[in-house]
Structure 1
Amino acid sequence: MKVFYSGEPVVGYLAGAVTPNVLQIENLGELINLCCNRLVQVTRLNIVPLAYVPVQSEDVVSVINTNTNTVVGEISVGEFPGGVAITPDARKAYVAHSGDDSVSVIDTLNGVVVRVIPVGDGPDEVAITPDGEKVYVSNVSDDTVSVIDTATELVIATISVGDAPRGIAVSPDGSKVYVTNFGGNTVTVIDTATDTAGDTITVGDNPVGVAFTFDGSKAYVTNFDEFSVSVIDVATNTAVGAILVE
């Protein structure tokens, strides 16, 4: 279960090729079933006043009103949608489709796709800079990160990273992007000022997710095959510890 916080209550999901449940968590108490009634595969969730849930088996994004906890629409997107990120002004959502190597741009006010942007091979996760000016997309099948200019909706850079990049996150100050390389057991550090790859940080086996602390001093990386979380000192771009989560 993966939860993105956006005030009270917290909304999350259960993932898997089973009938999924979108959940409301009231003070870590009762779990309330919100949707869905059909067999789909829900993989990720992002929350603004609306929550956008990509449904991979149907090539749509379900839209949930988090005030009323109801599904208020579906938006057709590309093939096999995955990672979703919302701009800081909440006006646009970017959705990666690994099945057709593109990113949909959703106008959140009108609930429609306004642009489809070709990116690299097998786009997986999406992250947006705090100023909303750039979108970073990890392309798992060609070992690159695509950089999208949100003003023009064009790819302005393609950055070579490690083997099978998956998770991606922008530091709170917007200066760095961390990319987990699932096949290389590393994290690549991208300088957002130049859009170039810099340091490579060795972490655990098959790293997937990555997240920064709110103050940007540390980053945490989940290591899929090691049942651990690596702790990174962001100032030095070095792994300083690991937490077993078996």
Structure 2
Amino acid sequence: MMKAALAGLAMVAGMPALHAETLYVSNERGNSISVIDAASMTPLATWPVGGRPRGITLSLDGKYILLCASSDHAVQLIDRATGKIIADLPSGQDPEQFFLSRDGRTLFVANEDDAALTAIDLESRTVAFQVDVGKEPEGVAQSPDGRWVVVTSEEDNVVNWIDLTTRMMVDATETDQRPRHVEFTADGTQLWIAAEIGGTVQIADPHTRKITAAIRFAIAGVQDHLILPCGIRFTPDGKTAIVALGRANHIALVDVATRTVRAYVPVGKRVWHVAISADGTRAYAANGLSDSVSIVDLASAKVVGTVPVGAGPWGIAVAP
């Protein structure tokens, strides 16, 4: 009996801590990054950064944070260990969002003022190429097969398709009003598009580059004009899409196979973007007008914690 108990304790001791992750939150109005311990749901630090920080992600090796400092017209490279800005990378005017290439070598940046996609070579820290796209580009994604980079154009109501073999824009898919974010499914067969003012998430077939379906949202007690889809993330198993619904102050949990909403979860005010824990059990929601991050248990579809951050949280990166 004692041996079994000791063996059980040894197994527990050897297991990784649940949700032992660190969250990095870009605070658009605070010109800062908030650092959060996800396990204890407590803030650890606040780092000053460039003006109007928005898009945020980690380098492939996990050593650096990449951040769109929109007002500074730069992508900032930040040492994750110290919080210090290592370099301002050339990125074009008013970088909004970006997507780190599958091999981690290139950062694809949407530049709103330039109406362009800028590709930054991270090894040389120089611009590799730039492609003109529609007006007010924001959302960016690369297809899993590496062929396409897609960029939303909020003003033109299109998704621009850039063929990376030729580095040319070859098509534009019309969408509902003001597409803000794009996300490919892991198998590359679907592109999900959040149309903010249209109030929908549309789904495009990358082979035909045509819209094939649309998901609409209805929340009891919430007026339709407040339902403004923004960020989208898929759980690691690909079964659930988490959609931030803006001024509706909710996130939607959408079944990917049936394209139906499984649950609506009330979070903070003006939820901009979301992130998912590595084990797929939690969602993290950046609440732009509540200055907080909501931590959501996806199995129960309930908020299990709320963490204060800086002013205007916009994006979230999750690190082990």
1:240 and 2:212 equivalent?
Answer: yes
Render the CA deviation track for 1:81-103: whole Å, top value 9, x for unaligned: 01112223222221112212111
Equivalence for 1:18: none
- Distance in 2, matches of 1:166 and 1:240, equals 22
* 2:174 paired residue among 185, 189, 202: 202
Amino acid at match of 2:117: V
Amino acid at match of 1:101: H
Equivalence for 1:60: 32
Equivalence for 1:166: 138
- Distance in 1, matches of 2:133 and 2:79, equals 30
Amino acid at match of 2:27: V
TM-score by length of 1: 0.76
CA RMSD of aligned residues (A): 2.0
Equivalence for 1:37: none
Equivalence for 2:115: 143
Residues 75, 113 of structure 1: 8 Å contact kept: no
Amino acid at match of 2:192: Y
- Distance in 1, matches of 2:29 and 2:215, equals 34
Give the alignment of 1:100-119 within 5 angstroms.
Answer: 100-119=72-91
Residues 94, 126 of structure 1: 8 Å contact kept: no
1:99 and 2:74 equivalent?
Answer: no
Cα offset, 1:203, TM superposition: 1.3
The 3 A distance-change label for structure 1 pair 192 and 106 is: farther
Residues 208, 222 of structure 1: 8 Å contact kept: yes
Equivalence for 1:218: 190
Question: Structure 1: which 5+ residue stretches go unaligned?
Answer: 1-7, 10-47
TM-score by length of 2: 0.59
Equivalence for 2:162: 190
Cα offset, 1:191, TM superposition: 2.3
The 3 A distance-change label for structure 1 pair 94 and 192 is: farther
Higher helix proportion (structure 1 or 2):
2
Which has the bigger relative contact order, CA under 8 A and spacing at least 6?
Answer: 2
- Distance in 2, matches of 1:104 and 1:60, equals 12
Render the CA deviation track for 1:59-80: whole Å, top value 9, x for unaligned: 1111122233332222221111
- Distance in 2, matches of 1:61 and 1:194, equals 36
